[in-house]
Structure 1
Amino acid sequence: MNQEPVTFDTVLDLCADRHRRIALATLANEQRSLTVNDLTKAIVKHNHHVPVTEMSEGNLSEIQLLLHHVHLPKMEASVLVDYDQERGLVEPTEQFEQVQPQLSAIIKADPDLEPPVDL
């Protein structure tokens, strides 16, 4: 495992996408491993402002596919999370804990994202 510190530029790059910002904020708030389904629910709740039961199956599938193929691999490459694709489980790493103050500041600066970002 890579123990090098995560750079501020990496944190900014990860937070550039709203879905990643919500996923990171949810992981920070929950302080535990979450499933792709958990993160999908958080994105629907905080980005689309509807209950997951009111979201179309196509939109839910699109969010999950983007998480699975784009966002979570990018977060894992930055060593902030471990992503077990087979189990659909996302676990924050020690490096995630180290960048939480930066993440919190970025999330608080988003005028459309009210902390805490929860499930």
Structure 2
Amino acid sequence: MTTTSHSEFDCAEFVCAVLDWLEGRQEGSESLDEAFELLAHTRRRLLLEVMRTYDEQVTLPDAAEAVAVRESGRSMTDLSAERVANVYISLYHDHLPRLVDAGLLEYDQERDLVSPAIV
């Protein structure tokens, strides 16, 4: 068996750290499964990261731009409008509703504003 070295991220070390953190906690497995499912998709994690960075209301188009920038590693000027539109559509139809339903974000559809939920 060969071991692959990950200079930036050691998955096994991270999993062990999460398991250590979970040890002795009272959350049920259903809650943990739901949390890990929410965090399983990169785009959802990036949206949460963007919202934590701004820590205030932002328009969904602005959030989509910020997610697209982080996702691609490019500057906004190097992204196509189509790429940003695709991110917006996936956030609007898939990722944002999941995060809103979980109580992590709030969304004002009339004004197209996303904000961190008060936790």
Query: What is the TM-score with the length of structure 2 in the denominator?
Result: 0.67
Compute the RMSD of aligned alpha carbons: 1.5
Identity of matched residues, %: 28
Alignment partners' CA distance in 1, 2:46 and 2:65:
10
RCO greater where, 1 or 2, for CA within 8 Å and sep 6 or more?
A: 1
Instruction: Report which of the two structures shows the higher radius of gyration computed on alpha carbons.
Output: 2
1:33 aligns with 2:57: yes
The aligned residue for residue 68 of structure 2 is 44
For 1:1-119, what aligned pairs fall within 5 Å after superposition? 7-95=31-119
Decide whether the 8 Å contact of 1:83 with 1:91 is kept in 2.
Answer: yes
For residue 14 of structure 1, report the CA deviation from its aligned partner. Answer: 1.4
Letter in 1 for 2:54: E
Decide whether the 8 Å contact of 2:50 with 2:67 is kept in 1.
Answer: no
Alignment partners' CA distance in 1, 2:34 and 2:114:
19
Decide whether the 8 Å contact of 1:23 with 1:39 is kept in 2.
Answer: yes
Q: Which runs of 5+ in 2 are unaligned?
A: 1-30
- The alignment partner of 2:56 has SS state of coil
Query: What is the TM-score with the length of structure 1 in the denominator?
Result: 0.67
Alignment partners' CA distance in 2, 1:53 and 1:18:
22
Alignment partners' CA distance in 1, 2:33 and 2:59:
27
Q: Which runs of 5+ in 1 are unaligned?
A: 1-6, 96-119
Letter in 1 for 2:93: H
Alignment partners' CA distance in 2, 1:26 and 1:11:
18
Aligned residue pairs, count: 89
